[in-house]
């Protein structure tokens, strides 16, 4: 005769086995309804709208894939995608790199909190206000623009930061980096605190120098927070709208347009909501691989 099962085991088994489908349904329903109403339905609606003329936001005439073909033929849209790629690479890269460096360096000094507070302050400013402030900073006239006033002291050139197609994207990305570095610093700083000091001490005893510790120990040990951060930043940047809208309105010409800005122009300025929906679908398609990577990453790390 087998021994009676351990009471704890019975309890544990019961928790999974005896849950009736109806109970499951009741618990899942609220979340499922919310998801269906606010996620699934809008996605289906947008997909449907993207194959329609969609004038004024109504279904006016089915046009098949015309909206998508128009997008591919539109040099402005291609430029917007390229600009978004620039944002993804440089914004995400610099925010994480700067955030990590500041977090590591700040940890080693006594006034860590002060440094982190200073870096974090831009996070407390609304993105639109941030953009307005930087528009003033970038004013070409040194009488108004802080940056050119400072350059003027060193008799440097006075570039038109937002009026020069070749530097406008760099100028805007800098604003984005300035606004988000604090976020990365705080997250990574918390992750660094989680690294057991024994490991660092062991490495030091084994004769590792600061750079080796940074590259061989710190970076690998915070790689999960870094990848989470990267995904968050990338998703933020794919839907980026406020900074180019406020600072340049996508200009000069079409030099600083981004995908979300194109969506706004097509939908709300031109009234072509079908075309705008197609842009939204393209944005979704770009985001999917990033999200899939994120979910995979979480699954693997929860196993190990």
The answer to whether 62 contacts another protein (rule: CB under 8 A) is: no
Pick from 272, 279, 282, 283 the residue near another protein by CB under 8 A.
272
272 three-state secondary structure: strand
134 binds another protein (CB under 8 A): no
- Where b means 16+ CB within 10 Å and e means fewer, 1-28 reads eeeeeeeeeeeeeeeeeeeeeeeeeeee
Which one of residues 161, 178, 183, 261 is an interface residue with another protein (CB under 8 A)?
161
CA 241 – CA 264 distance, rounded (Å)? 9
Question: Cβ neighbours of residue 57 under 8 Å, at least 6 residues apart?
Answer: 267, 273
CA 264 to chain centroid, in Å, comes to 19
Nearer to another protein, 12 or 249 (CB): 249
Among 254, 287, 290, 293, binds another protein (CB under 8 A): 254
CB of 235 to another protein, least distance (A): 25
Out of 253, 291, 292, 296, point to the residue binding another protein (CB under 8 A). Answer: 253
5 versus 271: smaller Cβ distance to another protein: 271
Q: Which of 78, 268, 288, 291 binds another protein (CB under 8 A)?
A: 268
Q: At what angle do helices 273-303 and 41-49 cross, to 10 degrees?
A: 140
Report the C-alpha gap between 299 and 154 in whole angstroms.
Answer: 53
- Residue closer to another protein by CB (options 64, 143) is 143
For position 265 contacting another protein by CB under 8 A, the verdict is yes
**Are 94 and 177 a contacting pair, CB within 8 Å?**
yes
Rounded distance between C-alpha atoms, residue 59 and residue 22, angstroms? 38
- Bridge-partner residues for 52, per DSSP? 62
Number of residues that bind another protein (CB under 8 A): 34
The site string for another protein over 74-93 (x = CB under 8 A, - otherwise) reads: -xx-----------------
179 is a contact residue toward another protein (CB under 8 A): no
At closest approach, how far in Å is the CB of 127 from another protein? 16
Shortest Å, Cβ 159 to another protein: 7
The residue length of the chain stands at: 304
Query: Token pair of 33, please?
Result: 């309804």
Distance, in Å, from the CA atom of 86 to the CA atom of 74, rounded to the nearest integer, reads: 19
Residue 271 engages another protein in binding (rule: CB under 8 A): yes
- In DSSP notation, 29-50 reads HHHHHHHIIIIIHHHHHHHHHT
C-beta separation of 91 from 180 below 8 A: yes
Shortest reach from residue 261's CB to another protein, in Å: 11
Identity of the residue, 21 or 75, whose beta carbon is nearer to another protein in the bound complex: 75
Report, in Å, the least distance between residue 125 CB and another protein.
Answer: 20
In the range 20-59, which residues lie near another protein by CB under 8 A? Answer: 53, 55-58
By the criterion CB under 8 A, which residues form the site for another protein?
53, 55-58, 70, 75-76, 138-141, 143, 158-165, 248-254, 265, 268-272
């Amino acid at each position: 005769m087998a021994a009676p099962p351990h009471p704890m085991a019975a309890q544990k088994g019961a928790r999974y086995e005896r849950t009736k489908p109806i109970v499951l349904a009741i618990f899942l329903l609220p979340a499922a309804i919310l998801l269906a109403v606010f996620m699934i339905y809008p996605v289906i609606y947008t997909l449907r709208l993207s194959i329609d003329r969609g004038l004024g936001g109504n279904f006016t005439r089915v046009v098949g894939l015309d909206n998508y073909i128009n997008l591919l033929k539109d040099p402005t849209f291609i430029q917007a995608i390229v600009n978004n790629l620039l944002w993804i690479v440089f914004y995400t890269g610099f925010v994480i790199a700067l955030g990590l460096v500041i977090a590591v360096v700040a940890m080693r000094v006594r006034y860590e909190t002060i440094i982190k507070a200073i870096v974090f302050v831009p996070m407390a400013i609304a993105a639109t206000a941030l953009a307005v402030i930087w528009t003033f900073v970038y004013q070409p006239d040194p009488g108004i623009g802080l940056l050119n006033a400072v350059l003027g002291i060193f008799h440097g050139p006075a570039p038109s930061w937002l009026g020069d197609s070749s530097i406008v994207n760099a100028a805007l990305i800098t604003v984005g980096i300035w606004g988000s570095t604090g976020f990365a610093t705080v997250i990574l700083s918390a992750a660094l605190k989680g690294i057991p000091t024994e490991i660092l001490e062991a490495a030091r005893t084994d004769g590792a120098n600061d750079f080796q510790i940074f590259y061989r120990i710190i970076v690998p040990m915070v790689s999960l927070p870094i990848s989470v951060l990267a995904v968050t930043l990338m998703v933020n940047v794919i839907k980026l709208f406020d900074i180019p809208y406020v600072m340049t309105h996508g200009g000069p010409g079409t030099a600083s347009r981004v995908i979300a800005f194109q969506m706004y122009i097509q939908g709300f300025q031109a009234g072509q909501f079908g075309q705008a929906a197609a842009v939204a679908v393209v944005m979704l398609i770009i985001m999917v691989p990033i999200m899939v990577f994120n979910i995979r990453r979480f699954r693997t790390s929860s196993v190990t």
